Chain A
């Protein structure tokens, strides 16, 4: 059983969001980089749990990114991945990234491919579906539970207004979110072991880039809160009705 876990690098959730170069580039000054929370907390941990239950499971990690992704990948290895592949490219185009992951996936012959629900920087929620299409296998999105029984996966997934339970034979691509697993902290042994685990760097294959960022913008600042006295709740209701017109 071979599992491929897609790992992306994102700014820490509390990072100050600012732009440089005439708003064309994300300002990385002082930014703390982390593993995208959906990748770390849910998909990677679930893969590790499957390996803990069955020693025949191997976990490979893949990231498409520059050398600045290596500390992130090492951290993911410290949590419990066996080997990592970094495709050396700074592209932010989803199709290009998915094409790279699909290439790794086809070569490695994985039974299961995990992605996060979305990367918290560009919020694409796209890579999983694209990889599945390029590899031509089923894709189950927004999983909240994942169970494996031999070669059949039972997945609870979020749908409009509820959830459904899907059964699918491997191989499959699954995008993971809250519920699939619980966050873990890497331990010292894991961190030491990660130093010697293989991290293979490969060059990207040719693929089209279909989108490009023109520029970024910050939202206009809020006008400021209008405070209403706790003894005058009726005034709040009036404002919501007459001024904001939302009730």
Chain B
């Protein structure tokens, strides 16, 4: 019995979302009176023993280069074997793009019940009940997993990462890896920018900005805050901004610490992508804009006047 945590990596580095699931998984293990172990696929440049800081006792690594890319078929097989080899009865993923690609496939292979998009620690006092967001953040469901092996994928930004002291034992896991049937012909990373789903702060613009030529004031604010940028759907549809920035029901779902909405009305489909944010700030000239009902702080005003002032005031605050 143990808790096994899948550690996601890109370009040989462990992702931020992984530290969050490691902390979460260690807590699940503590709650169940067992140990937390981690699984790393592919070659990684980071120091794996240091994962002990997150409460991990052992790191299993399948250091096979063909696993540096996510192929769901290969991953499912390797992860399922690791679960069996380590005797884990709980397996944890981040519900990020990698988790969305792989976790359910592993579940089918192991015939393990899965809850994706979990947002809290499981209740293990009587069975195994996991809380998740449903209806695009409009409600929660508590789901009981009734199989011997249980799988959880945790919504990014829903658990506080805590680093302490400790060193983990790193152990090579020998698993045969089949040839991949999926050939990757190009990889386009959005470089230099903060990835949207990992950002602590997101500054987002809607049709209220009137046109792509006006995005400068938004970008300045984002830069001052080291924030990622997002947009409403009509903005993405009109190609004012790249479509991967579009948040909402049909776009990316995010849960940053701070979401700043500029000139966005706050339609229900938009809120579905952002209502898990910890703090929402809305700047809109219409006091009746529905977004104010979902906001924590707001300014009723013309964004073209307010936003440059906001950037300036933040700059001042940081300098002081």
Q: Which residues of A contact B (CB under 8 A)?
A: 11, 13-14, 17, 19, 37-38, 41, 93-95, 98, 118, 120-134, 136-142, 144, 154, 158-169, 177-179, 208-219, 222-223, 225-230, 233-234, 236-241, 244, 246-247
Contact = CB atoms under 8 A, between A and B. Distances in A.
A139 B98 CA distance: 12
Per DSSP, chain A at the interface is mixed
A159 B104 contact: no
Given A160-B8, A168-B181, A227-B300, A210 B136 contact: no
B243 interface: yes
B116 A17 contact: no
Contacts of B140: 216-219
B297 A226 contact: yes
A218 B297 contact: no
A164 B115 contact: no
Interface in B99-148: 100-109, 111-117, 129, 132-147
Given A130-B107, A225-B292, A139 B101 contact: yes
Contacts of A122: 134, 141
Contacts of B220: none
A120 B136 contact: yes
A129 B104 contact: yes
Given A162-B189, A168-B182, A236-B299, 20 more contacts: A37-B249, A94-B107, A95-B113, A120-B272, A123-B132, A125-B104, A126-B104, A129-B76, A132-B105, A160-B17, A165-B184, A210-B145, A219-B137, A219-B138, A223-B296, A225-B297, A227-B300, A228-B299, A236-B310, A244-B258
3 closest residue pairs by CB, A with B: A230-B301, A210-B113, A126-B104
Contacts of B298: 225-228
By DSSP majority rule, is chain B's interface helix, strand, loop, or mixed?
mixed
Interface stretch (B21-29, B165-173, B208-216, B278-286): B278-286
A159 to B, nearest CB: 5
A168 B132 CA distance: 33
Contacts of A179: 243
Interface string B9-25: 01000010100000000
B299 A229 contact: yes
Interface in B279-320: 279, 281-282, 292-302, 305-306, 309-310, 313-314, 316-317
B201 interface: yes
A212 B244 contact: no
A152 to B, nearest CB: 9
Nearest to B133: A123
Contacts of B98: 159-160
B187 A213 contact: no
B100 to A, nearest CB: 5
B272 A13 contact: yes
A167 B278 contact: no
A160 B17 CA distance: 10
A55 B71 CA distance: 32
Contacts of A132: 72-73, 105
